[in-house]
Amino acid sequence: MTRGMTLMMAVAALMFAYAPFMIDNAPYEATMGLVYKIYFFHMPSAWMFLTAAITAGVASFRLLFLKRPRADHWVMAAAELAVLFGAFTLVTGPLWARKAWGVWWVWDARLTSSLMLFLIFVAYSLLRKYGGPGSDKLGAGLALFGMANVPFIYVSVNYWRTFHPPTSVVPTLPVEMGIPLWYCVFAFTLLFIVLLRLRARLEHQRERLEELYLAEDEA
Amino acid sequence: MRMTMASRLSKVMLVLAALLVATAVYAQGQPPPEFVPVGEAPQAEQIPAMPLLGIAYGFIWVGMFAYVWSIARRLQKVEGELSALESRKS
């Protein structure tokens, strides 16, 4: 691991350790009270979920259309992170909704399309695990389809009727709520970069190992 | 004549159904356009928020630690195998 990566990991760990104090100091929200504080981890998780889907889509484009075989490692890494951050988003959201809306789940455009995106990347992971030869290209097609879902998910709250807060909430947040939110977004982004690079490194090393075994068999 | 009446009736029913759906949709509350900060939690707390908050943060913390540990373990295993193979070759 490079020094830069180690430093990023240390900063992300420190930021996560301090995050509960930042969130505790944030004020309550007028209608939702204490439970809205789930937002400080829910929203960054959701952004990383969408970022992971875009990363997987871009890497899939490089693999399929620019013929870069190593891009497959980045697709695999980003897809796994999409499942991880997707799970965070889809678990914390209903916990917030139970109190704020009185129900765990509603089948509106935002929630349904987010669940679809999560299932696309779960399908990708299963395909790569059990699909055998050729699953890399098939999976890349699936990841591209996942990326195409992202703009729809983002704007869905502005065009379809929903209880979910619209995108206008983030730019209009008061400073005392905005500071902890952007702090958490920064911590999640650092963590995302570190995890993405570590996961891609795992695939690079696995490829090297396979090449060495092949060379040994041929010798 | 009967067909015409039935057709008219079905059209009226369709319009009524569309109106009912539209009314139901408009009867739903609007989401708040922005968050408003207050100093204290509202009094009418029927579902306790703390367990929900605890589960949400706990899930993310545990999930993150588990994932970091899983990547570290997998990476360690592959790199250990790689260095053993390289030393065997040299």
Each residue's pLDDT tens digit, B48-73: 888 898 999 999 999 999 999 999 99
Residue B42 placed within a domain? no
Residue B40 placed within a domain? no
> Are residues B32 and A216, on separate chains, in Cβ contact within 8 Å?
no
Residue of B nearest to A217 (CA): B89
Region for B36 from its dihedrals, namely left if φ exceeds 0, alpha if ψ lies in -120 to 50, beta otherwise: beta
Residue of A nearest to B62 (CA): A88
Give A76→chain B minimum CA distance, Å: 13
Question: Which of B31, B41, B64 lies closest to A28 in CB terms?
Answer: B41
Domain containing B54 equals 2-28+49-89
The complex's ipTM? 0.91
Q: Which strand (E) or helix (H) includes residue B46?
A: none
First to last CA, chain B: 96
Residue B22 placed within a domain? yes
Q: How far is CA B59 from CA A14, A41, B9, B11, in A?
A: 19, 11, 55, 52
Question: Which of B49, B63, B85 lies closest to A87 in CB terms?
Answer: B63
pLDDT tens across the length of chain A (219 residues) = 678 888 999 999 999 999 999 998 998 988 888 889 999 999 999 999 999 999 999 999 999 999 999 999 999 999 999 999 999 999 999 999 998 888 999 999 999 999 999 999 999 999 999 988 889 999 999 999 999 999 999 999 888 888 888 888 888 899 999 999 999 999 999 999 999 999 999 999 999 999 888 888 787
Residue B81 placed within a domain? yes
> Are residues A172 and B29, on separate chains, in Cβ contact within 8 Å?
no
User: DSSP letters along chain A, please?
Assistant: --HHHHHHHHHHHHHHHHHHHHHHHSPEETTTBGGGGGHHHHHHHHHHHHHHHHHHHHHHHHHHHS--TTHHHHHHHHHHHHHHHHHHHHHHHHHHHHHHTSSS----HHHHHHHHHHHHHHHHHHHHHH--TTHHHHHHHHHHHHHHHHHHHHHHHHHS--SSPPGGGTTT--HHHHHHHHHHHHHHHHHHHHHHHHHHHHHHHHHHHHHHHHHHHH-
Q: Which of A29, A39, A76 is nearest to A55 (CA)?
A: A76
| Total count of domains within chain B | 1
Spatial CB neighbours of B82, under 8 Å, sequence gap ≥ 6: A205, A208, A209, A212
Is B37 strand, coil or helix?
strand
Residue B33 placed within a domain? no
Q: How far apart are CA A118 and CA A89, in angstroms?
A: 10
Residue B75 placed within a domain? yes
Question: Which of B40, B55, B75 lies closest to A198 in CB terms?
Answer: B75
Question: Which of B35, B56, B67 lies closest to A95 in CB terms?
Answer: B56
Residue B43 placed within a domain? no
Give A182→chain B minimum CA distance, Å: 15
Give B68→chain A minimum CA distance, Å: 8
> Are residues B31 and A164, on separate chains, in Cβ contact within 8 Å?
yes
Q: Which of A52, A59, A34, A69 is nearest to A153 (CA)?
A: A52
Q: Is B53 on the interface with A (CB under 8 A)?
A: yes
Residue B14 placed within a domain? yes
**A-chain residues near B77 (CB < 8 A):** none
